[in-house]
Amino acid sequence: MNQAQALRNDALNAVGIVAWQKLSELGLKLLELDRKRAEYQKCIDAHTGTLVVGFTAIDAGGGGSTDDRRADLFDLSGPQPVLLETVPISGGSFAFNGTIPAGQVAVAISGTDSATSTGPDFRSGPITAAAAATPNVEIVLGPVVTLTADDISRWFAVIPAAPAQSLEVMGVGMVAVDIQSVSAALVPPALQLTGVGTLSGSISVLGPVSSPLSVTMSFGLVPTTNPDPLLPAELTLVAPPHVELSEPFKGFGAVLNAAISTFAGDWILDQMRPIVQKEVSDAAAQALSLVGLPPSVTLSIRKLSVTPTSVRFQPVLGAIGTVLSTYQPAPAQVVTP
């Protein structure tokens, strides 16, 4: 401040070339002061508010600990989370300034650069803000995990055959869909699944008939952004399933396609959600040389990509308190070479 005032006085007392030089120097100094004031205000905002939260990022090999981040506050009183406020994280903390609901809320932390971060770093799940005056959030950024096409195929190979599903189809009558196996292929940016089985029913004139059936579905595998920490990644149907029918059912393609597509898509999603949760969690633990993730932490996926040969993702462990910064693995928790 003193330097800026001195430069201002020099500019007021100078003429011509010297005056312009002093004004230029003063301009640069004032810009520097404005930036420092903005940084100071940002720090003040991060440490004062209705709910102040400490934040620590630990880099365990994947990078990203110094990235710019934001914190989102959600109200969980309704059937769906409602975003209440978004604030920047600065100087190891952040603060929400609005009214904090008396009931359950959730906090999510994410990077602000979508080119390097496509998912959240932390999802608290339901918490009560009044439970801790100044809660602390810690995250551990794990190394990037690579799952091969064979790994993904193995996920879907464990799906048990679906019980034959009876469907009432207008214009056709009652048919039974029996999907006996599911195979997977990586078709970026999606996972392509093919279910193979049989379609049975009774057609006038022909009577009871049965023919081969295949259903091809494209699913996106994406980081979960919902503040509920149960699922780290989610399968989403990115295109309507394609159903291949054989005679004599082929002539009823349109109505049968609609009925079978709905059943097959819902069945795969129901079967795969718990499998995805387990496999992604196991892969994250293996990347950190752990037998399993500690029970007190949540797993989020910071970034995820699908290539023709692999799925790559960066896991992030999160916890409220000092669980991660004080964690000391027991011998039984570390993988034996």
Residue 86's beta-bridge partner residues?
A: 72
Give the per-residue pLDDT at 248: 84
3-state secondary structure of 227: coil
Give the per-residue pLDDT at 117: 66
CA dihedral 187, 314, 65, 232 (to 10 degrees): 110
How many Cβ atoms sit within 10 Å of the Cβ of residue 70? 14
Question: Running along the chain, 337 residues long, what does each successive block of 10 average in pLDDT?
Answer: 78 79 78 72 56 89 84 91 91 84 89 80 85 79 93 85 79 84 90 90 76 91 85 88 86 81 85 89 93 90 93 94 90 88
Instruction: Name the residue ranges covered by the structural domains of the chain.
Output: 2-47, 148-282
Give the per-residue pLDDT at 17: 82
Q: Report which residue type is found at 278.
A: K
Distances in whole angstroms, Cα of residue 332 to Cα of each of 125, 161, 294, 299, 335: 28, 36, 12, 21, 8
Q: Decide: residue 210, CB within 10 A, 0-12 exposed, 13-18 middle, 19+ buried.
A: middle
Distance CA 176, CA 22 (A): 87
Lookup: tokens for 148: 């091969």
Give the per-residue pLDDT at 167: 82
Of the CA atoms within 13 Å of residue 138, those in its CB half-sphere come to: 15
Give the per-residue pLDDT at 326: 92
For residue 298, give the nearest of 175, 142, 124, 136 by alpha carbon: 124
Greatest alpha-carbon pair distance for the chain in Å reads 108
- Which residue has 């496999």 as its token pair? 279
- Which residue has 């990037």 as its token pair? 144
How many Cβ atoms sit within 10 Å of the Cβ of residue 16? 7
Strand order in the sheet with 173-187: 165-169, 173-187, 190-203, 207-223, 233-245
Distance CA 154, CA 6 (A): 72
Helix residue spans in 158-206 (DSSP H): none
For residue 219, give the nearest of 187, 197, 243 by alpha carbon: 187
For residue 94, give the nearest of 51, 133, 140 by alpha carbon: 51
CATH number, domain 148-282: 3.15.10
Give the per-residue pLDDT at 258: 84
